[in-house]
A and B are shown apart, each in its own frame.
Chain A
Amino acid sequence: MRSAKPWTRLGTLTALLSATALAAACGSSGSGSSGGAEDIVLGANVEVSGSGAAIGQQWQRGIELAVDKANGDQGFLVNGKRYRWKLDLKDNKTLPDQAIANNRAFAGEKAKFILGPGVSTAFVPAMNALGNGDRIVMTPSVAAAQFIGKSDGNNLFITHLSDTGDNGRVAKMVQTLESNYHAKRVAVLLPQDDAGELYTKAFTQYFTAAGAEVVYAKAFPGDTRDFSSYITALKGVNPDLVVSGYLDTWMRPFLEQSAGAGFTSPVFVGAPGTNVTSLGQVGASIQNFAWSVTTRAVDNATDPAVQPYRTAYRAKYGNDPGADGFWGLSYYDPILMMTKAMQDAGTVDNPKSISDAMLKVTQWPDAVLAEHFDPAKRQAVYTPQIGFYAAGKITYVEAK
């Protein structure tokens, strides 16, 4: 038996389609509203899967926690009006093509605030795909520096401390390592790519300046998994300290094969991008391992500065952050800083005013990492930490 006449069903269908289209339109616009607060789309182009997933998943969590914190229960006030971040997180799979597609989608949605990508190989083409600097972009990618000073980078912010320069991550790391280990013979083995070359040059420069001799400096192809030949050569030069990495993809097999070859006495140092999880199953064999905590160690239960982050993390994800949790701070504080900058600027849709205000933000609610942005380089300035592993124990110190 028929329950409705054709025209009635047609009307119902039309109404449903209209409602669906309306909902889709609201969902895809740059702003909408929910619970009395107007939504502001925050596009996040994140390496949730792929070769950068280990870092990207922590970036995702840092972003989600910052959005929760900024929104609170009621949203946040800008110029007397209440707003909420509406997070639109898209996985770029650590692939440039996907990162480009994500940014084009954000541009299509007229999103004025975009995070990432964080991996340089994905960031550069994705940034080029955006086409102009009429939106605020924040990224930890070191490759973002090439856009600063150009029209594309008008409202670009780099959320990590610079790698290079006398106050950069590598210089601080080397000073801290040398004051701890006093290495005289240093070996550097990093991948044959832009970041690898940058780190090789910087580590060589600063270890040499610190009085150590760089007895081995080689690059390996990015698809290397068998490091035995390099390890044989390293054993031949008998270094006190070996720098490798800069991703777990290489650090883990390198450490595993070093342990397998009985090459365990030097201090192993992971270039920025690694952490203690690179030790994998060989933690008992490797005597000393140190790594750059690019931001601040949020797995450190004794550090009061990270306690609010740990509490929020545990409440949302059901467990404490691990040793790689520090990546979350690449975005966590910058998002809160941007929220504060919007309040200071009194606008949610003028990127230039918000950018100018962002450069003046030095304090904000729920801060974890004490940082500010260098007005010339548009780059975060803060004191990173170095992680030390010895005899199964992990300690963190502020980089010098």
Chain B
Amino acid sequence: MPRNSSTSLSSCIVAPGTLNTPVVWGAESSATWEDLATGNIFHYRADDYRGRSVVLTTIDPFAAIAAMIQLDGVARRIVLYPPDLLFEHLAFVAETAAADFIVTDQPVPEATSSRMECIVPCGRKAAGEDVVSHTHNRASEFKTEWVLLTSGTTGLPKLTVHTLASLAAAIERKASASPSIMWSTFYDIRRFGGLQIFLRAVLTGTSLVLKGAKESTADFLARAGAQGVTHISGTPSHWRGALMSNSAHRIAPQYVRLSGEIADQAILNQLRLQYPQAKLAHVFASTEAGVAFEVNDGLMGFPADVLAQNPCVEMKVESGTLRVRSDRTAVCYLGRERQPLRDGEGFVDTGDLLELRAGRYYFAGREDGIINVGGLKVHPEEVEAVINRHPHVSMSLVRMKKSPITGAIVIADVVLKTPQSFPGGATQMQRNIMQFCRGELALHKVPALINFVPALAVAETGKLSRRYA
């Protein structure tokens, strides 16, 4: 959809002044926003990307940032493929997004690479003529679709479409950059929570410290502390890991943000003790619903009047779940069998069950039974389908167990075909089934514990009885 306004990401990059030039710090290197906006990372000319659909999947976050800045307003569609996602889904994602190009610094499976062009980003500071960088500070031509991946019931990712406007709607722009603010996040910037922090930094012209993919929590916190990070975000699980790393004291943030999972009282209390000077906020946001609201009173859940008093986001509770309507929600899903993302009135059903107690709402799990393991979603049905393929398994029920470390963890009740006659005993069979799952599933989806049960309850509908929440 062509447009004339100049609100692309590259047009927001402010030319550096003489003092306090904002910098993006990675585990091994750094670059200014200006470098990233103008550096030549592609071998191709801008024309080659104009109006095209591009999948970004790089280990190097700088290549991804440069590509996001340079392709917004030029490409028709940018798909953010997180580097930790199994590469076997790349062909599906590329096809669903009608991708013309894949920008990657990893070897791509042949089945994918034969169907579309793979581009390896080159050195980011090489000067070049007639490259994408010439789009810098020029009115953008396309209202680029930003596609984020979320977990789907079948194991294939769901492609969720945003625009820069919807992603950035919750970000307060200031007239001038705030040199005293330095952002950081435990998230990868290709995931919604991390992308929010990346956009906050780039759109407000502040510095950003990124966690290296292989960097330990302790090393990251030491580096973030040395740089002087003031604002930092992560899931409650990231924060529990930080507290257990014995390095939480290495940073002295003014603002500590939690999102992506339910924040329980224990983690809020621990962070209050650790960072008494900081503003502590837990944020309700999801890839589909966008950023809905922030809670600042240090208590789990949120006051009931938050629903009615948010000037930017309309919210209501219907059939027990939170529904959100705002200019921050995603637009639609991509794909042939896509379901509608919004209802007839434009509300997104978050699927998060709420309970009202004494004037405060508390999250009580998921309507659809999705298990949130440290911010990564698991659909029980996907895991059951794998377990049920094991030759000794008759049927299985996958459910959530609360975890003090990752918020929740996956466990399974399994009915064996012949309970008494497997070799090596119960422990060996449990390990064997888990091993089988590790070959088929991402590690956070593999049951941590398997209980052998004689039978599973089946409801009137003929389906397994599930008790969510």
- A and B are partners in one complex rather than unrelated chains: no
List residues of chain A with CB under 8 Å of any chain B CB.
Answer: none
